[in-house]
A and B are shown apart, each in its own frame.
Chain A
Amino acid sequence: MKMPRIGSGGPQTHKWLLTPAIVAIGLLLILPLAFITTLSLGLSSLDGSGEPGFGAWRAVLSDGFYGWFLVKTLFVAAVTTAIAALLGFPPAYLIATSRLRWKGLLLLLIILPFWVSYIIRTMSWINILGASGAINESLMALGLVSEPLPLLFNQGAVILGLVHFVLPFMILNIYVALDGLDHSLAEAARALGASPWQAFRRVVLPLSLPGLAAGSLISFLLAAGSYVTPTILGGPTDAMFSNLIYESVIIQLDWRTGAVLALILLAAFGTVTILFGRFFGLERIGRASL
Chain B
Amino acid sequence: MTSRLALRAATIAIYGFLFVPLIVVMLLAFSASQFGGFPIEQWTLGWFGALFENDTILGAFRTSILFGLLTALISTTVGVLAALAMVHYDFPGKALVATVLLAPLLVPALLAGALFAFTISFDNITGTLFWKPGGIETVPTQIYAMLRDSVSPEVNALGTVMVVGTILIFVGGMSIMRVVFRGRRA
Contact = CB atoms under 8 A, between A and B. Distances in A.
Interface of A: 4, 6-11, 13-21, 24, 87-88, 90-91, 93-94, 106, 109-110, 112-113, 115-121, 123-128, 130, 132-134, 137-138, 141, 164, 167-168, 196, 225-228, 232, 246, 249-250
B66 to A, nearest CB: 17
The 7 closest A-B pairs by CB, nearest first: A21-B82, A17-B85, A124-B21, A132-B37, A90-B10, A18-B85, A120-B159
A134 B126 contact: no
A21 to B, nearest CB: 4
A28 to B, nearest CB: 10
Contacts of A20: 77-78, 81-82
A18 B24 contact: no
B86 A18 contact: yes
Interface of B: 3, 7-8, 10-11, 14-15, 17-22, 24-25, 28, 35-39, 77-79, 81-82, 84-86, 88-95, 119, 122-123, 125-126, 129-130, 139-140, 143-144, 147, 150-151, 155-156, 159, 162-163, 166-167, 170
Contacts of A134: 24, 38
* Residue picked from B28, B38, B159, B170, most chain A C-beta under 10 Å: B38
Contact of B11 (A13, A91, A137, A138): A91
Nearest to B15: A109
B43 to A, nearest CB: 16
A108 B66 CA distance: 28
Given A119-B140, A130-B151, A24 B88 contact: no
Nearest to B3: A196
Contact of B126 (A19, A168, A228): A228
B93 to A, nearest CB: 4
B156 to A, nearest CB: 7
A10 B125 contact: no
* Residue picked from B85, B140, B170, most chain A C-beta under 10 Å: B85
A95 to B, nearest CB: 8
B64 to A, nearest CB: 10
